[in-house]
Chains A and B, each alone.
Chain A
Amino acid sequence: MGLPTFKKGIHPNDNKSFTNHKPIEYLPIPEEVFIPLQQHIGVAGDVLVEKGQEVKTGQVIGKSEKFVSAPVHASITGTVKAVDQFLHPLGIKATMIHIEKTAEEDEWETINAPENWETASIEDLRNLIWQAGIVGLGGAAFPTHVKLAPPKEKEINTFILNGVECEPFLTADHRAMLEMGDKMLIGMSIIMKILGTENGYIGIENNKPDAIEIMNELVSKKFPAFKVVPLKVKYPQGAEKMLIEAIVKRRVPAGGLPMDVGTVVNNVGTALAVANAVVEGKPLIERIVTVTGQGITEPKNLMVRIGTPFKTLMESCGGLKESAIQVYMGGPMMGFAQYDMNVPIVKATSGIICQEKSDIFKKKTYPCIQCGNCVSVCPMNLLPTRLSSFAEMVKLEEAEEFGILNCIECGSCSYVCPSNIPLVQWIRVGKLQVSESKRKKVA
């Protein structure tokens, strides 16, 4: 029997050899940072600072009292230069706080961590995670304290730590597991204490044998309750619904959440951030970013402050090559193309990928030949070809009936389409239109 995995999915070339052997480098504290108020799913915070104010590293500068939100913190010690609209890596203008560095050394403003987390109350721990502004660092940026507060009727019996990193090119989670595995497992223990579950799994794809080995070693030494599960290499295994299917063989119902099958999934980076917050009292002000691709002179894994402009990272990697023509934030399958290198690193930035002309195939689109390739790879068992044409024809009711809202936008359908139809792009447009029209109906 082979290694566990989920049904369907694709096998893109993983391209991880650019950076998977390179230790994480700490980028020097940047001269300036731009911190967007909204870096998470949910309500954007209100600005708590004003122009000219001095801020310390870790100070809360944006916060909302709403439950589904996360505060943002100053990531350097300096002066607030402006609170204005700047370009966000998602291609929109958003309110950001521009801070200029004044001190070479960090002056910290930490959160009140308990002396011993093992005796702290669950409520306190959850509150601490909220204060630290922790969101899902895998890319979706869903506030973690919300995920860790499932409604009473949903009994959570399984926790999965997501070390899959199925997007090609990215190696940030891989390096974190190798270098900070110990702390990460403490974070996992904290999360499991909050959830009150005993079953902890760590899912890692088989293309990271060194990470599996190190994790196994740590688990057998200190955390015997956890189980490391090597997985067959396949995309999109890092999507939480697929990972649940692969490890515990449960299928999240359509329109449901992982908690409906008694499971919670968190990224390894998130567990690390939880440990930092609870054990050391450090809010989420930095993250690991993989800067990679054929188009960058020296690919690296960097630990950077949130809000650092892209160009600062690129300079430290030797800059873009002449031949580079496209830069993405995130992985190549689900990332966002960028046109301005002044955009900042946000909590959801897992990587910056710089591609050369030869990597990008601008192919002609042909009509659908009804081959069914997209149907056979869709991990959510949808019909991408139907959904995309419904979206194209603005047939929103039909699209909803065919389950367009269940699409996880993994892009597998577009990847396999022999006619180069922009399937996932259309489905995304359709999804947004459907949810918009639903919102209008409610209002």
Chain B
Amino acid sequence: MDFTAIIIAMASLGGLGMIFSVGLSIANKKLHVEEDPRIAEVIEELPGANCGGCGLPGCAAFAEAVIAGEAEISGCPVNSDEGSQLIAEIMGVEVTTSERLIARVICQGGDYETAKKGVYQGVKTCIGATFAGGGDKLCSYGCIGYSDCVESCPFDAMYMNDNGLPVVINDKCTGCGNCVEACPRDIMELHPESHKLFVLCKNLDSPKESRKICTRACVGCGICVRLAGEGNMEMQDNLAVVNYDIYGSDPVLPTEKCPTDVLAILGGQVIEEKQSA
């Protein structure tokens, strides 16, 4: 048997391997990029959901931005205070804790409460319905009810109730704001946990009109504004608005005085009970 062919093959391939390995090792030295080891540490402390709530494309990008000083340490709305604290330790700075944000559904016009236009046969998403006359409910401000917000939630913190309205599970909500982005009607709003008083309606129609289309619409009667007192609440275009800068965190308003049950004091799981009631 002739071994020369085998020897030539081994030698030539081995030689090639040697040449490339030398090239690679030179490239490794020459082109070496210094990566801050803290980036990996910061990523460790982040939730890792890549939800985009910070406005950057994913947790790794946020970590890099934090190291580069381009993002606030508390810029991740999802991260717990302890998490932010740990990142602050890695960075060697003090962190000011921000208040937890929770998404709120500012509409109570479910299937039972609202008047209908007819049968809607178009594509069953809120954004699709917006371009095709706005779904089957007569209200042109309220929840359309095709669950774009629930689909957009990366934390399973929302579901649709029997009444066709989205519900936020407060304990799971991280305040990332994806649902706020997803809603074409701006029904979803992010509020600090301390906001307790809400006007759960967005309808700006005339009282006569809104009374016709929804039993849970703000009819602009102004009772709440009178009860709350000057400056604390006001009427804007047939809708009562809470002035959160000075009011709404510790309200002592008798919400049952609201004739259409739009005014609500929310906290914890109350929102869910109230809306499925």
Show the binding face of A for B, using Cβ within 8 Å: 90-93, 326, 336-337, 339-340, 362, 392, 394, 422, 425-426, 428-429, 432-433
Partner of B118, one of A92, A337, A392: A337
Question: From residue 115 to 136 of chain B, which have CB atoms closer than 8 A to chain A?
Answer: 117-118, 121-123, 125, 127-128, 131-134
Q: Assuming A91-B133, A336-B133, is B123 touching A425 (CB within 8 A)?
A: yes
A423 to B131, CA, bound (A): 15
Query: Is B140's beta carbon under 8 Å from chain A?
Result: yes
Closest 5 CB pairs of A and B: A91-B133, A339-B117, A339-B118, A429-B128, A425-B123
A401 to chain B, nearest CB (A): 20
Partner of A426, one of B117, B121, B128, B134: B128
A154 to chain B, nearest CB (A): 32
Cross-chain contact A429 with B131 (CB below 8 angstroms): yes
Cross-chain contact A433 with B127 (CB below 8 angstroms): yes
Q: A422 — nearest CB in chain B belongs to which residue?
A: B123
A90 to B134, CA, bound (A): 11
A432 to B127, CA, bound (A): 10
Cross-chain contact A428 with B118 (CB below 8 angstroms): no
A227 to B168, CA, bound (A): 66
B212 to chain A, nearest CB (A): 12
B46 to chain A, nearest CB (A): 25
Cross-chain contact B123 with A429 (CB below 8 angstroms): yes
A426 to B122, CA, bound (A): 9
B125 to chain A, nearest CB (A): 8
Cross-chain contact A426 with B123 (CB below 8 angstroms): yes
17 contacting pairs across A/B (C-beta < 8 A): A90-B133, A91-B132, A91-B133, A336-B133, A337-B121, A337-B133, A339-B118, A340-B117, A392-B125, A394-B127, A422-B122, A422-B123, A425-B122, A425-B123, A428-B131, A429-B127, A429-B128
A433 to B132, CA, bound (A): 13
A54 to B267, CA, bound (A): 57
Q: Assuming A422-B122, A422-B123, is B131 touching A93 (CB within 8 A)?
A: no
* Given A422-B123, A425-B123, A432-B131, 16 more pairs with CB closer than 8 A: A90-B133, A91-B132, A91-B134, A92-B133, A326-B118, A337-B118, A339-B117, A392-B125, A394-B127, A425-B128, A426-B128, A429-B123, A429-B125, A429-B128, A429-B132, A433-B127
Partner of A428, one of B121, B125, B132: B132
Residues of A within 8 A of B118 (CB): 326, 337, 339
B262 to chain A, nearest CB (A): 22
Residues of A within 8 A of B125 (CB): 392, 429
A328 to chain B, nearest CB (A): 12
A92 to B129, CA, bound (A): 12
A192 to chain B, nearest CB (A): 38
Residues of A within 8 A of B133 (CB): 90-92, 336-337
Cross-chain contact A362 with B121 (CB below 8 angstroms): yes
A362 to B125, CA, bound (A): 18
Residues of B within 8 A of A92 (CB): 133
A166 to B177, CA, bound (A): 47
Residues of B within 8 A of A90 (CB): 133
Residues of B within 8 A of A392 (CB): 123, 125
Residues of A within 8 A of B140 (CB): 93
Residues of A within 8 A of B128 (CB): 425-426, 429
A90 to B140, CA, bound (A): 14
A418 to chain B, nearest CB (A): 18
B148 to chain A, nearest CB (A): 10
Residues of B within 8 A of A326 (CB): 118
A339 to B125, CA, bound (A): 20
Residues of A within 8 A of B121 (CB): 337, 362
Cross-chain contact B132 with A425 (CB below 8 angstroms): yes
A92 to B138, CA, bound (A): 11
A339 to B133, CA, bound (A): 10
Q: B121 — nearest CB in chain A belongs to which residue?
A: A362
A326 to B121, CA, bound (A): 11
A422 to B122, CA, bound (A): 7
Residues of A within 8 A of B127 (CB): 394, 429, 433
* Cβ contacts B89-127/A at 8 Å (1 or 0 each): 000000000000000000000000000011001110101
A13 to B125, CA, bound (A): 31
* Cβ contacts B132-176/A at 8 Å (1 or 0 each): 111000001000000000000000000000000000000000000
Q: B118 — nearest CB in chain A belongs to which residue?
A: A339
A90 to B131, CA, bound (A): 10
Residues of B within 8 A of A91 (CB): 132-134
A326 to B122, CA, bound (A): 14
A432 to B130, CA, bound (A): 11
A425 to B122, CA, bound (A): 7
A396 to chain B, nearest CB (A): 12
A344 to B43, CA, bound (A): 60
A240 to B232, CA, bound (A): 59
Residues of B within 8 A of A337 (CB): 118, 121, 133
Residues of A within 8 A of B134 (CB): 91
A323 to chain B, nearest CB (A): 15
B37 to chain A, nearest CB (A): 36
Q: A421 — nearest CB in chain B belongs to which residue?
A: B123
Q: B129 — nearest CB in chain A belongs to which residue?
A: A429
B187 to chain A, nearest CB (A): 19
Residues of B within 8 A of A432 (CB): 131
A181 to B125, CA, bound (A): 46
Which among B122, B123, B140 has the greatest number of chain A C-beta atoms within 10 A?
A: B123
Residues of B within 8 A of A339 (CB): 117-118
B219 to chain A, nearest CB (A): 18
A426 to B121, CA, bound (A): 12
Q: A362 — nearest CB in chain B belongs to which residue?
A: B121
A339 to B116, CA, bound (A): 9
A429 to B134, CA, bound (A): 12
A339 to B135, CA, bound (A): 12
Residues of B within 8 A of A433 (CB): 127
Residues of A within 8 A of B123 (CB): 392, 422, 425-426, 429
Q: B138 — nearest CB in chain A belongs to which residue?
A: A339
